[in-house]
Amino acid sequence: MVTGNTQTIVNAIVAIAVWLIVHYGLARMFKKAGEKGWKAFIPVYNSWTSFKVYWETKYFLIGIGTVVVAFVISLVAQSQNVYELVMILPLLMMKVFGIVLAVRMSRCHGKNFWWSLMIFFFPDLAYICLGFGKSKYERFEGQFFEKK
Amino acid sequence: MKKPMSYRKEVTLVTLVAVTLAVIAIVVYVLFFGSLRKYEYKSDLKETSTEPAIYATYEDLLEGVGESYPFFQADMELYGGPSYVVPGLEMTVTLNDKTGKKAKCTSMTPQGLAVSDKYVFISSYCGTHKHKSVIYVINKETAKLEKTLVLDSMSHVGGLAYDTENQRLWVAEFINKKAYVGALELSEIEGYDQNSGKALKYSREVQLKGIKRASSVTYQDGRLLVVYFNMWKNGLLNVYKIGEDGNVNSKPSYKIDIDNTVQGVAYENNLLVMTKSIGPLNSTLQVFDLSANVDKNNKLKFNKDMTFNAKDAIYNIAMPEKLEQIYFSDGKLYMLFESGAFAYRFLSFSNVDRVISLDISKIK
């Protein structure tokens, strides 16, 4: 019979194992891009590194900055309603950035549209596939709004 | 070889897929929820259910809800008080509104709460709008359901207030699209036979002016504090005096600005507490310190410049979703959630199927 405590321990072990595999996949992706693998295991810093490798770090700063500004506005307003309203903006922005990052990640590894979808919707699975797969990294320089 | 899609086109397409999936998810959620709101499942029970609908024990509830709300579990374990199973969530014996015959309702949705020395009162309305609303009368000491009052109304019955002066239960009502409070005398409540097959009529009904709808109500020292819930704009807290004849003055003495989405109000010992909740978002207890508004005789004085908005609160306490009415008794704040109702049971992050109580003076 599995007791509640045993179940909790098993769940924790599985969660840690999955986290390690996913981040090891990301570490291998970073290595392909010439970055140190350990950066994948540090929260926030791994996001910074992803933006650095696949896009531009200024977008990471814009994303973080928007969250901070929205949080400060809601603190000043002291209203949960304002908080809920203003937090929608950075949430939407992060989703849009997530889409762009997914497409760029897919392009950097020579993958197509379907991979972009997989990276956006199932990033953990995508990191494992891209990290352990044979794809090679090649920086993608394309811009959404091409300079004339 | 096929020419690869342009970068701009690919970003646009992935965005379109994401937006489409999000819209589909919202539509499915709304349709599923809508269908649950119209659905009454068959129940084999013969009497109004008294067993908890979801969690077998109070400890199970704290652990289950604590998975989504760990802060709530910690607060309740430290400062929690008595709890009462919300009856009738599985099935309530009431009356069919059209035929007037006895009927089983499996979509009762708890809304109002009042606590007296002897009883805990919980009001519920039929989610499918087929059956008459009810009030469960629970023995405060034994926590057992004494009886179910069937009201002569299908109203939302969003609030209850126990008038300690006149031994009367006030019910927030919506009659002919106007705000009312209906009164049930304690003697009538105690004398009501739930097997009579008759609905209990209000002994008096008072139309409340200056408010579109009585969403919630509480009793405070010879006054009724009535909340008007507004989803988008700020709501209202109107103060109505109860005269010496026990009648409520239909004109408000004060109209006080409150935040939107306020679902309940309670007052005790210079603390006014309001609940804010909407959909699956966290609920909030807004706590206001009114000690500066109390005179030498400890009588609360309202004034026309008062507002009860988040910025006026001394602190805000996060609570699980779908917190409805609250009530003070014996220094504890009693809380009623609607998340145990059938329609919400499958679409909520947490389900609270008991009235729970908390010493909020310990939480800051």
Q: pLDDT > 70: what percent of chain B?
A: 99
- Cα–Cα distance between A48 and A55 in angstroms, integer? 10
Q: Which residue has the tokens 């002994």?
A: B203
pLDDT digits (tens, 9 = 90+) for B130-173: 999 999 999 999 999 999 999 999 988 989 999 999 999 999 99
Tell me whether residues A81 and B261 touch, CB distance under 8 A: yes
- C-beta separation of B157 from B133 below 8 A: yes
Give A146's pLDDT tier (boundaries 50, 70, 90). Answer: low
Tell me whether residues B13 and A113 touch, CB distance under 8 A: yes
Q: Which of B250, B248, B152, B260 is nearest to B196 (CA)?
A: B152
- Cα–Cα distance between B335 and B151 in angstroms, integer? 22
Give chain A's radius of gyration (CA, Å): 18
Give B58's pLDDT tier (boundaries 50, 70, 90). Answer: very high
The H or E element containing residue A129 is helix A123-132
Neighbours of A117 (CB within 10 A): 21
pLDDT digits (tens, 9 = 90+) for B308-332: 988 889 988 889 999 999 999 988 9
* Whether this model's pTM surpasses 0.80: no
pLDDT for B298 equals: 84
- Give yes or no for residue B342 having a pLDDT over 90: yes
Q: How far is CA B189 from the centre of its chain?
A: 21
Residue in B closest to A98 by C-alpha: B15
ipTM of the modeled complex:
0.84
Amino acid at B161: A
> Which residues of chain A have a Cβ shorter than 8 Å from any chain B Cβ?
77-81, 84, 95-96, 99-100, 102-103, 107, 112-113, 116-117, 120-121, 140, 142-144, 146
Report the pLDDT averaged over residues A53-63. 94
- C-beta separation of B285 from B356 below 8 A: no
Q: In this predicted structure, which of A70-79, A107-116, B4-13, B235-244 has the lowest mean pLDDT?
A: A70-79
Give chain B's radius of gyration (CA, Å): 22
- Give yes or no for residue B43 having a pLDDT over 90: yes
pLDDT digits (tens, 9 = 90+) for B269-294: 899 999 999 888 889 999 999 999 99
